[in-house]
Structure 1
Amino acid sequence: MKFGFIIKELRLISPTNRAASVVFKPGLNIISGPSNTGKTYIFQCLNYMLGGSRSPKKIKEAQQYSYCYLEIESSIGDVYTLKSDLVGGAFHLFSADLETSLDKAHYEVLKRKHDDIEKDNISQFLLSLCNLSLKKLKMNADGKKRGLSFRDLVKLTMIEETKITTDKSPILTGQYTTPTVEKSVFKFIITGKDDSDIIEKLSAKEILHRKGKLEMLNDLIKGIDEELKKTNVTEFEEDQLPKLQKASDAIRSNLTNLNDINQQLNTQRNELYRTLLMEEEISAELTGIFERSQILGEQYDSDAARLTSTIETCELLFSGDNTIKECPICHNGINKVVSEKDIEAVLAACSTELQKIGLLKQELLLSREIISQDRAKTTDNIFKIKSDLKNLEMELEENVQSKIRTSLAELARIQAVEMQLTEYIQLTDRRKSLIASRDNIARSVSDKKKGSVDDTNVSSIVFPVTEQMNKILSDCKYPNLSGVSFNEDKMDFIISGEDRELTGKGYRAITYSSFIIGLQEHIVDLEYAIGVPVLDSPFVTYRKPERGVGDDVIPVDLAMDFYRYLASCDLPQIIVMENEEPPQEIEPLVNHIIFTQSYDQGRYGFIPV
């Protein structure tokens, strides 16, 4: 199996009852048992879980069941589980087996209705497994098309009990609006070629509408031509924009370097400014100290002069001249005679103080010298810093900032040219797109006046299927078989020269079933698949030994040989629901599920009792 899938398990879940489950295997699966054991209900559930819009019938045995699960396995071994309620809701798709999916929270929601464009629906999911995504089908004689739906394939894979004996076409449903698309589906399955290449014939109204579009597109193209003139681009080469981009990248890189240098120099300048402020603060402080030391020196000189005068006065008084009646310094009168001892004490104190002042003046002179030196050094520093700042400002202006301004101006110029060229390219591309659209519409108006519809007859391509049907019926020893052909008018098969519709029910069921199996065998090695064949009661009218002979019944050997053929064929999977059991010798080759309708023996039916 190159593509497609097989069905692994169908399970109904109830919050109160035991799960109803049937497990399928590769190859032939036979579900046999009397009526009313759930075989047809299984068919309905399978059809529903493969995208059918009609819910399974609300039989009383299934009233307590709320969810249906279907586990499938793709041709490459990927396992998926589909979950749905039983009232037409959307699907939950789990990328896991059924048992794991029961407790799994993560899933993808798939809508039940097919959509040609969106992929979030059950039909597109199953089509993808069959390698049939995005296929187109002709709907009518004018070549109008729609997308292939998986439900188109189900009509040729799942045949219910009421249809398998029909005397109508097995290809057409009989609906008035669908024969063309149903023929397209059948032809596509046989040939593998869909109707994508068909050109739809346009109505007069659509042609007029498209001509209106042509006029509008021509107006848009003229408008773009005017816009192109405004761009002032007279010549354009494909490598212009890359060259401009390369140049702008180089300028940006240079600007990055210049900005780094600018930042470094500004950092240096700011550091010099901080140093200058510190030096100026130091200079001002030294000047203040120097000025205060000068005042202090003057104070020392004043104190020394006063002490010197006091010493001179003491010396005069100490001379013993009693005629002195006033102070020789201040000329105040002397009213009291002071002893020599007191004069000596004053003289000694003043001398000592004068010596101290002398020492202080020496220290002050030394300090002033140091301060003067520091002031000179600070002044030199300030001069040097200002000189460095001036040089730095010149370097910033001449070597950095002027280059930055020049680079920015050049970058702005290049960007303006880039914008101009980009606009030109966008307009040119838009113009090309509009011209392409205009030309396509013009061609469509010309081509689609006549259309290009595939009128291939089914009869010309159906031979591989009729040949396979003939082989199947021959292997099953179909009575008086002389060949299988096709009636184009009735879209049905001719068996041994007789229209299929004229045979009895039993024979119609066998030939319908051989068509479904033959179609599957025809495509089994091709690059696509169409789903699992499911046949409900293909032998319901076979002739048991105790029954009489009639047109509606088939010989027991024909039914058993058909069972044998199904068991030996190479299809990946076949599912058959039938009242009667298959021949014993094929039991080891098939998955045989038996419903007994007995409470005491075997399994009663699909729904646990």
Structure 2
Amino acid sequence: MTTQQGLLLKQLVLVGHRKNYTVPFYPGVNIIYGDADTGKSSILRIVYYLLGGKQSKLDHEISSSVKYAVLEVEINGAPYCIIRDLYNSTKDVEVYSCRYAKLEENFPEKYVSSVSRSTNEKKSLSDFLLEELNFPIVKLKQAPTKDNSDTARLSFLDLFKYMYLNQDDVGSTHMLNIGNPVVEVKNREVLKYIFNVLDTNISDLEVDISTRTKEKSDLESQYRVISKFLSEIEFEQTSAIDEEITLIDELKEDLDRQLKELNNKMVSNNELYGGLKEALDTINLDIKRLEDVKSHAERNIERFSRLSNDYQNDIQKLKAASQARNAIGKQEYTTSSCPICDNTINLSDVSEEFDISEENKLKHELNSIVRRSKDLAVLIAENRKELEETTQTLNELYKEKSKAKEYIDEELANAVTPFLAERDVLIKESAKLVERRDKFVNALKVRNRQRSIAEHIGRIESNITQLKERLEEMLKSSPSMSSVLSDLASSLDLFLQNVKINNQFGVSISEKSFLPIVRNIEYRNINSGGLRTITSIGYLASIMRAKLNTNTNLPSLMMIDTVGKFLGKTPEDGTLDTDLKADENEGVSDPDKYKNLFESLLDLAERFEENGKLCQIILVDNDLPPEVAKKHSGFEIAHYRSNGVNNLPIGLIDDWEKDKKVR
């Protein structure tokens, strides 16, 4: 089977604190849809960032859950994993020449994240991508009409403008930075580069072939030195290292099984220990109960004694009062004036009617306190007896507990010591295996690095051959920009026809701005946001379609965020960027146009498949046409619902709400 040329995304892995979050990608159309604020757009933004894009703001659920990101890709059939820090865009990017599952067996190459920071000693990620895709690395004139114009290095991000429409770009009058004269000039040069019609394309290609030939020679020299050194030290071959790692893994698995069995024996094989432990638990429960009884009795004794002392003091006071009364004698009553009528009354008469004898009151109170004092004495005696009995029982229980612990310690020493000795041996053997495995994994990384150099030499050799064929083709018949724009206009016209826009006429590509023209109106001057949405997507699709018939310097990758913008499908459309009356006249809310837009992109992917060429289209939206959802359900790679209905994930970070509640 012939390897398909181009860039193919395989999977995005967000390595998290709690778990990893994975989004798979496949050749052809990939559809991501669902509720707003579920992380759909974040997927495309992170892919863009991992391919060299500028850092963008991350949603809180991502920044609080994810440590770093990995993008597994295939470039011209070769596997790579790109790892980049999500929170520091200036840090170097790591690129592993392997699949995600083999990361630990390989050393990474490191690239600077920006073209402006690259040096002869350290390439940028952009240079890596362009070289592996076999695209020429060139400098673009900032003022093409001037011979002494300054030049700027073309980067992979310059190409990305023709591969990725984010939420703001879809249907926007500022797509491709329209309105910025400097950027517009550069964009035209980039489009020329994509279609190999730059004035310097042939000379740049010749320089690129020479540069890669020298790189191939340097790598071959490096490979010979490494191979000779490894041979001299009799370094193990990859197959032998793989066998050793497999054997170590089998031994480690067997040791882990023995350790598990040994731990089970230590717990279950000693019945006496179990019985003693159960008896000790019972003693501890009895001790706890009796300690509570003891404490209660001590509190009662202390409380009752204090109350008894108070009663004794009261008894002494009452007796003293009675003795004083006897010594003083009986009180003599006299006369007094009535406080109401001023008549004279005899106090002795009043006393006999209303008063109780003071002597009788003292005797009554004294007898009551004496009875209560006796009752307290009985309660104190009962609690003292209970305290004495409880203390005696507790002392006996403490002796039993001490003996039980001695028996347990002795039994444990006799029963467990042999197990511990055997366990220590197994643990030491396991640690040795882990250390040995690490050494072999490191050796495997060395051999894989050697293999990676050899494969890189092979890829460069293949690239040089292809570049020479392209140079020969360009020398024979270099395309003109007019013919390129004409072909693009035909493709765009067909796309708009398939979508079935109203009043389709005057479709072309401006030879001045290289922007689409519909009804003889240049893209930036189209009033209907819905028509601009359809046209902007059709423009990128037409540029991609050109790869079916010619070798262009652009990967067959297209990412569209919010396909239905200004088409009546997204609540966030707003009214500032579109003329609602123009949208109404266009009939952009017609469900058929929305469906036809999806169908046209699906048809484009099918054309690539029929021609045996690689193509990948990633579409993001809040909705999906029912006919497309039913007919092409296999193209859905992610469907999110914020309420989790139908067991769908709540978003890209599918456990964030749960974690937030815990916190």
**TM-score range, shorter-chain basis?**
0.5 to 0.7
Q: Secondary structure at the match of 2:115?
A: coil
User: Among the aligned pairs, what percent are the same residue?
Assistant: 22
Structure 2 residue aligned with 1:276: none
- The AA in structure 1 aligned to 2:133 is C
Q: Secondary structure at the match of 1:542?
A: coil
Structure 1: any 5+ residue segments left out of the alignment? 200-455
Q: Deviations over 1:384-406 (max 9, x none)?
A: xxxxxxxxxxxxxxxxxxxxxxx
Tell me whether 1:131 sits opposite 2:134 in the alignment: yes
- The AA in structure 2 aligned to 1:516 is L
Tell me whether 1:557 sits opposite 2:557 in the alignment: no
2:546–2:552 CA contact under 8 A, matched in 1: no
User: What is the distance in 2 between the residues matched to 1:194 and 1:48?
Assistant: 31
Q: TM-score normalized by structure 2?
A: 0.49
User: What is the distance in 2 between the residues matched to 1:114 and 1:125?
Assistant: 11
Match among 602, 610, 617 for residue 574 of structure 1: 617
Structure 1 residue aligned with 2:359: none
- The AA in structure 1 aligned to 2:631 is I
- The AA in structure 2 aligned to 1:163 is D
1:139–1:178 CA contact under 8 A, matched in 2: no
Match among 172, 178, 191 for residue 186 of structure 1: 191
In structure 2, the CA distance between the partners of 1:179 and 1:497, relative to structure 1 (3 Å rule), is closer
Structure 1 residue aligned with 2:60: 59
User: What is the distance in 2 between the residues matched to 1:473 and 1:84?
Assistant: 39
- The AA in structure 2 aligned to 1:74 is I
Deviation at 1:38, TM superposition (A): 0.5
1:136–1:196 CA contact under 8 A, matched in 2: no
User: What is the distance in 2 between the residues matched to 1:133 and 1:149?
Assistant: 11
Structure 1 residue aligned with 2:567: 542
Deviation at 1:13, TM superposition (A): 0.8
Deviation at 1:554, TM superposition (A): 3.7
Deviation at 1:99, TM superposition (A): 2.7
Structure 2 residue aligned with 1:285: none
Tell me whether 1:165 sits opposite 2:171 in the alignment: yes
Structure 2 residue aligned with 1:4: 6
User: What is the distance in 2 between the residues matched to 1:62 and 1:607?
Assistant: 10
User: What is the distance in 2 between the residues matched to 1:575 and 1:545?
Assistant: 18
In structure 2, the CA distance between the partners of 1:58 and 1:171, relative to structure 1 (3 Å rule), is closer
Deviation at 1:195, TM superposition (A): 2.8
Structure 1 residue aligned with 2:96: 94
Deviation at 1:84, TM superposition (A): 0.9
More helix by share: 2
1:18–1:608 CA contact under 8 A, matched in 2: no
User: What is the distance in 2 between the residues matched to 1:518 and 1:52?
Assistant: 23
Structure 2 residue aligned with 1:473: 496
Q: Deviations over 1:74-98 (max 9, x none)?
A: 23x2111100111212211111112
Match among 535, 544, 564 for residue 511 of structure 1: 535
- The AA in structure 2 aligned to 1:91 is V
In structure 2, the CA distance between the partners of 1:562 and 1:163, relative to structure 1 (3 Å rule), is same
Q: Secondary structure at the match of 2:82?
A: strand
1:72–1:80 CA contact under 8 A, matched in 2: yes
In structure 2, the CA distance between the partners of 1:84 and 1:577, relative to structure 1 (3 Å rule), is same
2:9–2:74 CA contact under 8 A, matched in 1: yes
TM alignment of 1:246-395, pairs within 5 A: none
In structure 2, the CA distance between the partners of 1:192 and 1:575, relative to structure 1 (3 Å rule), is farther
Structure 1 residue aligned with 2:82: 82
Q: How many residues align?
A: 349
Please identify the structure whose Cα radius of gyration is greater. 1
Q: Secondary structure at the match of 2:74?
A: strand
In structure 2, the CA distance between the partners of 1:184 and 1:5, relative to structure 1 (3 Å rule), is same
Aligned CA-pair RMSD:
3.0
In structure 2, the CA distance between the partners of 1:591 and 1:78, relative to structure 1 (3 Å rule), is farther
2:485–2:511 CA contact under 8 A, matched in 1: no
Structure 2 residue aligned with 1:25: 26
Deviation at 1:528, TM superposition (A): 4.1
User: What is the distance in 2 between the residues matched to 1:51 and 1:516?
Assistant: 20
Deviation at 1:71, TM superposition (A): 0.5
User: What is the distance in 2 between the residues matched to 1:545 and 1:133?
Assistant: 40
Tell me whether 1:496 sits opposite 2:519 in the alignment: yes
- The AA in structure 2 aligned to 1:556 is P
- The AA in structure 2 aligned to 1:551 is A
In structure 2, the CA distance between the partners of 1:197 and 1:6, relative to structure 1 (3 Å rule), is closer
Tell me whether 1:604 sits opposite 2:640 in the alignment: no
Match among 584, 590, 598 for residue 635 of structure 2: 590
Q: Secondary structure at the match of 1:462?
A: helix
In structure 2, the CA distance between the partners of 1:603 and 1:556, relative to structure 1 (3 Å rule), is same
Deviation at 1:507, TM superposition (A): 1.4
In structure 2, the CA distance between the partners of 1:190 and 1:597, relative to structure 1 (3 Å rule), is same
In structure 2, the CA distance between the partners of 1:149 and 1:516, relative to structure 1 (3 Å rule), is same
Deviation at 1:29, TM superposition (A): 0.5
User: What is the distance in 2 between the residues matched to 1:459 and 1:39?
Assistant: 39
User: What is the distance in 2 between the residues matched to 1:457 and 1:488?
Assistant: 12
2:562–2:620 CA contact under 8 A, matched in 1: yes
1:138–1:180 CA contact under 8 A, matched in 2: no
Structure 2 residue aligned with 1:522: 546
Structure 1 residue aligned with 2:112: 111
2:169–2:176 CA contact under 8 A, matched in 1: no
1:30–1:593 CA contact under 8 A, matched in 2: yes
Q: Deviations over 1:142-196 (max 9, x none)?
A: 243333211110111111111112124x445543433322211112223454635
User: What is the distance in 2 between the residues matched to 1:193 and 1:61?
Assistant: 42
In structure 2, the CA distance between the partners of 1:2 and 1:38, relative to structure 1 (3 Å rule), is same
Q: Deviations over 1:488-523 (max 9, x none)?
A: 455422112233332311211111000001101112
Structure 2 residue aligned with 1:145: 151
Deviation at 1:573, TM superposition (A): 0.6
In structure 2, the CA distance between the partners of 1:172 and 1:186, relative to structure 1 (3 Å rule), is farther
User: What is the distance in 2 between the residues matched to 1:124 and 1:42?
Assistant: 24
Deviation at 1:483, TM superposition (A): 4.1
